[in-house]
Amino acid sequence: MKRVILIIIILALGAGLYFFRVDIRDFVSNWQKEDLPEAVGYRQASPMPAATPKTSLLPSLTPNSEFKILDSINLAVPFTPQAPYGNWDDPYAEFCEEASVLMAISYIMGSSIPNLDFADQNMLKIKSFEEARFGYYKDTTAEETAVILREYYKYEKVKVVYDPSVDIIKKSLSEKKVIIVPAAGRMLGNPYFTQPGPLYHMLVIKGYTKDGNFITNDPGTRRGADFIYAPNVLMNAIHDWNDGDVQNGRRVIIIVG
């Protein structure tokens, strides 16, 4: 009888510690979000150009540039996890690219992601486009993800920028452009990922704080709205698919807007 009681106590303590750990993670995450800048929407600065080169050269940032990088910014990008109904089996386990594209284009168009069914159906439609266009939907590169925006959504203001700096990212966000990044998911260290985390991942950068932390919408977790990443963590994790050798993939971002 004593042995049974002891086992019950151990199990109860274990469960308590587990849920306490989860509560601590949520507390820290919510505390970080308390000081986020007010979210701002996208404003079209000029008419859409007829075409945009598939791959841009690295944008220049000169000391005499008249445009000021803001101290902080938070774009009003709607959020969806890549598995809206919590089913993390395929294809949803592979829908980080589709979710990132949907979030980015919804912000650009000034629309919302009103419910789970809307997110689910639109990601499945993107999947169908990818299968027809590329022959597959899993693990699309930065270039292929840009094709989805240009060809499926008919949106041309898309730049694929290689070897970006933090200033390039901040300047783009200050111009109210949203950024999609491919990443070596296990280098992100997101505590809400099913460990060890995805080999390849994609997420949206939507802003940064005065302390320089990046504000993201990370579709790899239902807690991914306004998720905070330290700049060194996120910058080190940015890598393209590179045929599965992600950690040696080139650093690249997709600027939308």
- DSSP letter for each residue of 186-211: GGT--TTSSTT--SSEEEEEEEE-TT
On average, the pLDDT of the chain sits at 85
Supply the pLDDT for residue 43: 64
pLDDT in tens, 145-191: 999 999 999 999 999 999 999 999 999 999 999 999 999 999 999 99
Supply the pLDDT for residue 35: 79
Closest CA to 60 of 145, 165, 202: 165
Could you give the CA distance from residue 229 to residue 232 in angstroms, rounded to a whole number? 8
Answer positive or negative: Cα dihedral of 25, 28, 34, 37: negative
Mark whether 6 and 54 lie in a shared domain.
Answer: no
Mark whether 122 and 4 lie in a shared domain.
Answer: no
pLDDT in tens, 205-224: 999 999 999 999 999 999 99
Supply the pLDDT for residue 34: 55
Mark whether 134 and 21 lie in a shared domain.
Answer: no
Mark whether 104 and 161 lie in a shared domain.
Answer: yes
Supply the pLDDT for residue 32: 52
Task: Show the domain range for 141.
Answer: 41-256
Could you give the CA distance from residue 220 to residue 192 in angstroms, rounded to a whole number? 8
Q: How many domains does the chain have?
A: 2
Mark whether 103 and 11 lie in a shared domain.
Answer: no
Mark whether 130 and 248 lie in a shared domain.
Answer: yes
Consecutive sets of 10 residues in the chain, 257 residues long: mean pLDDT of each? 44 45 49 73 49 40 62 97 97 98 98 98 98 98 98 98 98 98 98 95 98 97 98 98 98 98
Mark whether 107 and 222 lie in a shared domain.
Answer: yes
Supply the pLDDT for residue 41: 87
Q: Judge whether 81 and 218 are in contact, CB under 8 Å.
A: no
Closest CA to 173 of 93, 252, 72, 83: 72
Question: Which stretches does DSSP call E strand in 63-212?
Answer: 73-75, 158-162, 178-183, 201-208
Supply the pLDDT for residue 121: 98
Could you give the CA distance from residue 55 to residue 160 in angstroms, rounded to a whole number? 5
Closest CA to 204 of 187, 232, 229, 186: 229
Supply the pLDDT for residue 57: 38
